[in-house]
Amino acid sequence: MPAKSPRSKSQARELLFGDLWEFDPAPESAPAFIDDRYRLFIDGKHSAPRSKKYFDSISPRDGKKLAEIPVANAADVDAAYQAAAKAFKSWSKLPGAERGKYLFRIARLLQDRSREFAVAETLDGGKPIKESRDFDLPMAAAHFFYHAGWADKLDYVAPGRRLNPLGVIGQVIPWNFPLLMLAWKIAPALATGNTVVLKPAETTSITALKFATLLEQAGLPPGVVNIVTGAGETGAAVVNHPLAAKIAFTGSTEVGKIIQRSLAGTGKKLTLELGGKAANIVFDDAPLDQAVEGIINGIFFNQGHVCCAGSRLLVQEGIETEIIARLKRRLATLRTGDPLDKNTDIGAINSAEQLGRIRELVQSGIDEGAEIHQSSCQLPKQGFYHAPTLFTGVAQSHRIAREEIFGPVLSIMSFRTPEEAIEKANNTCYGLSAGVWTDKGSKILMMASRLKAGVVWANTYNKFDPSSPFGGYKESGFGREGGKHGLLDYASLAPLDITR
């Protein structure tokens, strides 16, 4: 009997259809109802900026102007804080059940207008419409629903203690999840009886300003939520205003450090959710089909514009060749292009500036000796796009293994033992998230206890829930958002009055 020729898993047959069955275009046709020019939202009114200045919001999809966004100066920010301080007197005394009603209304209105907001989010930020439609909008509504439920139960968050509101909360959110980050910030602040002055990122302000119309529909009292737009100077005015009782910031580690220094000694509370360089760790006993999908989702979701993206892949040596082969095959199936097309997997990079940074770091990987692999996709000629990218032969000293790229770029390294995987995973200034892939429950628990990360996913990645706290360690920030822990960061604790 002739001997059977051995065939490794990486040589397994695959179905290659080439160009036989091309996807037909499936553009989203719903209108986004984007105004030509927006105004600030202060004290329940849409008002022109005192600076009389505006800037263009550019769609990364095609590089064209979407709308004009107002620039709030220090006087505008002060007016927003004064309105919020005035509203706090009545809002904080409103029974929790009544505050919850407003949050429920906001959640339902988000659901009612979800298609409109999803299209606006995709046009303004560049993410695929299926992500805006199926993740951002449902999750934003879920945060309002969740915190609406807590509004009348605050005496049960911390046994024997009562949660008291802090006052006016200054909030600054990033451009990667504009509407979702808004929900993460506003919902717990309102549920605990605070009022808000919020500044969205300058490149993605449209959905926040559209959200103001939703607050009007919900009948939210004037001044409870105020929205001011602009760039760094506006953000600094929000952070440093004397009426702010707390600042909640999500963004880069560099800006977070500046904020922390500026608030030192002021007595203001602070939560920071900053950058990350997460390790996605795959052991040789992992379910490989699931792991490959988790790796792809971990780094290419939202074009890699995710602070907890699994941008460092650590693979056990025995399966490294197999995993890389599978990833390259999977990469070839990803569709990069128009984010409004429902077939698109990877949309546009948020801005020309961010695209330039991604290209710089990719070039550094090539220059430092890593081996690059990119899918042979046809990128649109207009707009800001980058092909999904893998790097093999990466050393821990390479910039692509140390710095947050915030783009669709994966750095692949190997390990032999769990101890080596832990050492490599923790060898970073960040500590936001990590992933572990194995069929051994004991190994998962051991890794989770030793990885210095705020969130550790097991045999999955990028799973979020409003009831689960999210946050980091080290230079990924401090404080938590979501769950009971997030509520505690928006309140002070006082003894519970048992005589009531």
Residue 441: domain span: 279-465
As given in the structure block, the two tokens for residue 237 are 């005015």
Q: Which phi and psi (to 5°) does residue 330 adopt?
A: -70, -35
- Which of 69, 151, 43 has its CA nearest to residue 106? 151
Same domain, 303 and 426: yes
- Which of 52, 232, 233, 30 has its CA nearest to residue 121? 30
Answer whether residue 48 is part of any domain.
yes
Same domain, 152 and 270: yes
> CA 479, CA 471: separation in Å to the nearest integer?
6
- pLDDT at residue 1, as a whole number: 44
Same domain, 114 and 225: yes
Answer whether residue 31 is part of any domain.
no
| No. of helices (H) and no. of strands (E), the chain | 16, 21
User: pTM, whole model, 2 decimals?
Assistant: 0.94
What is the maximal distance between C-alpha atoms in the chain?
90
Answer whether residue 104 is part of any domain.
yes
Answer whether residue 10 is part of any domain.
no
Same domain, 372 and 488: no
User: 187, 144 in Cβ contact below 8 A?
Assistant: yes
Rounded to 5°, the CA angle 281-287-291 comes to 50
What residues form DSSP beta bridges with 195? 168
- Which of 484, 125, 435 has its CA nearest to residue 294? 435
Same domain, 488 and 410: no
- pLDDT at residue 14, as a whole number: 64
Catalytic pick from 307, 320, 403, 404? Answer: 307
Give a three-class secondary structure readout of 184-200.
Answer: HHHHHHHHCCCEEEEEC
Identity of residue 143 = H
For 226, residues 6+ apart whose C-beta sits below 8 A from its C-beta are 41, 42, 43, 80, 81, 83, 84, 195, 196, 197, 198
Q: What is the CATH number of the domain that holds 345?
A: 3.40.309.10
For this structure, is 307 an active site residue? Answer: yes
Q: What is the CATH number of the domain that holds 483?
A: 3.40.605.10
Q: What is the DSSP letter of 336?
A: B
- pLDDT at residue 375, as a whole number: 86
> CA 73, CA 233: separation in Å to the nearest integer?
8
Same domain, 283 and 267: no
Answer whether residue 26 is part of any domain.
no
- Which of 42, 246, 53 has its CA nearest to residue 164? 246
Same domain, 265 and 285: no
Answer whether residue 216 is part of any domain.
yes
Same domain, 108 and 152: yes
- Using CB atoms within 10 Å of the CB of residue 21, give its burial: 0 to 12 exposed, 13 to 18 middle, 19+ buried: exposed
> CA 173, CA 102: separation in Å to the nearest integer?
22
Q: Which helix (H) or strand (E) holds 226?
A: strand 225-227
As given in the structure block, the two tokens for residue 135 are 């993740």
Answer whether residue 146 is part of any domain.
yes
What do you get for the CA distance between the two ends of the chain, in Å? 88
Q: Which phi and psi (to 5°) does residue 251 adopt?
A: 170, -150
Same domain, 267 and 295: no
- Which of 93, 90, 83, 81 has its CA nearest to residue 244? 81
- pLDDT at residue 9, as a whole number: 47
Answer whether residue 439 is part of any domain.
yes
Catalytic pick from 131, 273, 320, 403? Answer: 273
For 287, residues 6+ apart whose C-beta sits below 8 A from its C-beta are 437, 439, 459
What residues form DSSP beta bridges with 480? none
Residue-level length of the chain: 500
> CA 475, CA 455: separation in Å to the nearest integer?
14
> CA 459, CA 439: separation in Å to the nearest integer?
8
Which spans in 381-482 are helix H?
A: 399-402, 418-426, 441-450
Q: Which phi and psi (to 5°) does residue 254 adopt?
A: -60, -50
Radius of gyration of the chain (CA): 23
- Which of 220, 100, 91 has its CA nearest to residue 153? 100
Residue holding tokens 């693979």? 315
Same domain, 161 and 108: yes
Q: What is the pLDDT along the chain (500 residues), one digit of tens a residue?
A: 444 433 344 455 666 655 666 778 899 999 999 999 999 999 999 999 999 999 999 999 999 999 999 999 999 999 999 999 999 999 999 999 999 999 999 999 999 999 999 999 999 999 999 999 999 999 999 999 999 999 999 999 999 899 999 999 999 999 999 999 999 999 999 999 999 999 999 999 999 999 999 999 999 999 999 999 999 999 999 999 999 999 999 999 999 999 999 999 999 999 999 999 999 999 999 999 999 999 999 999 999 999 999 999 999 999 999 999 999 999 999 999 999 999 999 999 999 999 999 999 999 999 999 999 998 889 999 999 999 999 999 999 999 999 999 999 999 999 999 999 999 999 999 999 999 999 999 999 999 999 999 999 999 999 999 999 999 999 999 999 999 999 999 999 988 776 55
Same domain, 99 and 241: yes
Distance of CA 487 to the CA centre of its chain: 19
Number of domains in the chain: 2
Same domain, 191 and 251: yes
Provide the b/e sequence for 407-425 (b: ≥16 CB within 10 Å): bbbbbbbbbeebeebbebb
